[in-house]
Amino acid sequence: MKLKAVAIAAGALAAGFAATPALADLRLAGTVEQQGQGIGAVFTVITLQATGQSTTESGTVLFNGSTAGDVQPGASQSRNFTFADLGITSASQLGLIVNLAEPGSENPPSVLASAAPASSFAALANTVTLNVWNAAGTLMGGAAHSLPAQQLSQVGGGVGGSGILLRLTDGEAAAIDAFALANPGAEVFSVGATFAQAQGGNDTIQAARITGAVAAVPEPETYALMVAGLGALGFVARRRKRGQ
């Protein structure tokens, strides 16, 4: 199933401790096709489900593994993690798989990855956010990496099934690797997210070991420039042909 073209902006890791996390450092990297495995059968790092009649679900897992907001508790549903937990040695191998299980009548069902509502944990739960902590439980300087706000469409069905793959940019992965190298065993990751237009499903994100390069998704402005460039080339070619 193809995802709609979306704008992906590149970001850089901010030096020092930032008041709000940097945005646009996670990027879409396609989809992952897999069998429905259930929440406990995969390495689920966050499970969101709105309460009551709300169509917005928002929350985060904290440094100590506790949860806030609409996050479902229990280690099988929501947890923090380390490189060792995933059997990876580099942040470039880290993948987050968004698995939507929305029961709506849309085809395909979707959610809107959104800014978190105002709350004490809002900075940790914008759209889909990877939070990076040091061993003392302090958010690493500027190292909260979020996906830009956009529509995410359900891929396949069933919790733990096929999903949307998110990965860090090469620059962000390198920055985290440098931190991990200087502080062996000190990195701790957690995930937060906010989905609007949700329709009551159990939406999960799992962490997994992924290999292979991240393919950049061109921005709409890039497509416009390409089209304009091709048009200009065609115009020049027609002028030359007429002049012959």
Q: What does the pLDDT look like over 187-238, one tens digit per residue?
A: 899 999 999 998 877 899 999 998 754 444 433 333 333 334 434 444 444 5
The pTM score is: 0.75
Render pLDDT for 22-73 as a digit per residue (tens, 0 to 9).
Answer: 445 889 999 888 765 666 678 999 999 988 788 899 999 999 999 999 999 9
pLDDT tens, position by position, 61-84: 999 999 999 999 998 899 999 999
pLDDT at position 92 is 93
- Chain center to CA of 15: 22
Contact at 8 Å (CB) between 69 and 59? yes
Q: How far apart are CA 125 and CA 2, in angstroms?
A: 26
Pairwise CA distance, residues 215 & 15, whole Å: 26
DSSP 33-86: ------GGGTTEEEEE---TT-S-EEEEE-TTS-EEESB--STTTS--B-HHHH
